[in-house]
Amino acid sequence: MASKMTTYPDVTRYCFYRVHKFLSAFLAGFEQKVAVVDFTNAEEVAKITDEFCNVKDLVFSHAHFEDQNIHQLLRDKKSHAHEMIESEHHDHDAIFENMASLLQEIKNNPSDINLCKQKGYEFYLEYRKFYGDTLLHLHNEETILLPELQRVCLDEELRTVDAATYKILTPEQMLGMLKTAFPNFNYWDKEAFLISIKLAQPDKLTEIWPEVVKIVSIEEMNRLSAALEIHEGVKKAG
C-alpha cells in the first residue's frame, strides 16, 4: 500500500498551533493521573472529576477558538480544508458526555465496589482513546490545515487572529498565558510568541518584559533581547 507523504508547514513563516505543545502535555498529564486513581475511593473520584472539568474546559475553549478564528480565515478564502477538523470538534460533546456519565455512575453507587472498578476502568479507556485520537487531530491541524493556511493567506493575514487576542488580553493575562505555555516551548517558540506580541501590542510587551525575563534562562533572555530589540537594562537576578 502506497503511503501518503506528509506535508509539513514552513516553520520560518507565521505558525499557529504552537500552543499544541502545552495542550498535548496537559492531556498526557491527565492520562497519567487517571491511570492511578482508585475509583472505589470517593475522595479520589471527586478530585479526578474536578480535573476532568478543567480538561473539558480547555479542550472546548481551544476548539471553539479554532472554529471561530483560525477556520474563519479558510472560510474567507473559500477553502474547505477545515471541515473534517471542525466535525471532530463537534464530536467532543458526545465523547465528554459519555465520560462524565461514567463518573456519575461511580458517584451514584459508592458502595458497589465492582461497579466502581468497572466504570473507572471504562473511564480510563475512554479517556486514553480520546487522548490518542486528539494527538492525531493535532497532527492533522499542523500538517493539513497549517500548510493550507500558509498557502492561501499572507503572514499579515495570519497574524490578525493572534493580534485580536493580544488586543483583548490585559498584560497580566498575557503574562499568565506565557507562564503556562513556556515550560513546553523551545527557544524558537518563545521568540515567535514574543515577536507576535511585539508586533501587535508593543506597549504591553514592554510592560510584561521585566516578568518575562524571570521565566526564561539568562541565555534565552539575551537572545530574546536581541531578537526583540529590547535594550533597556532589565537585569536578571542570579
Q: Which residues in 38-67 contact Fe ion (CB under 5 A)?
A: 66
Rank residues 141 and 162 by Cβ distance to Fe ion and give the closer one: 141
CA–CA gap between residue 87 and residue 110 (Å, rounded)? 36
CA–CA gap between residue 12 and residue 10 (Å, rounded)? 5
Beta carbon of residue 58, minimum distance to Fe ion (angstroms, whole number): 11
CB neighbour class for 183 (10 Å; exposed up to 12, middle 13-18, buried from 19):
exposed
In this structure, what is the dihedral angle of CA atoms 190, 193, 198, 199, given to the nearest 10 degrees?
A: 140
Beta carbon of residue 123, minimum distance to Fe ion (angstroms, whole number): 23
Rank residues 74 and 212 by Cβ distance to Fe ion and give the closer one: 74
CA–CA gap between residue 213 and residue 164 (Å, rounded)? 24
Rank residues 44 and 86 by Cβ distance to Fe ion and give the closer one: 86
CA–CA gap between residue 59 and residue 73 (Å, rounded)? 21
Rank residues 189 and 220 by Cβ distance to Fe ion and give the closer one: 189
CA–CA gap between residue 202 and residue 191 (Å, rounded)? 14
The contact pattern for Fe ion, residues 99-118, with x = CB under 5 A and - = no contact, is: --------------------
The contact pattern for Fe ion, residues 140-179, with x = CB under 5 A and - = no contact, is: -x--------------------------------------
Beta carbon of residue 30, minimum distance to Fe ion (angstroms, whole number): 16
Beta carbon of residue 68, minimum distance to Fe ion (angstroms, whole number): 12
Beta carbon of residue 65, minimum distance to Fe ion (angstroms, whole number): 8
User: Minimal CA–CA distance to 69: which of 106, 123, 19?
Assistant: 19
User: Which residues are at the interface with Fe ion (CB under 5 A)?
Assistant: 66, 141
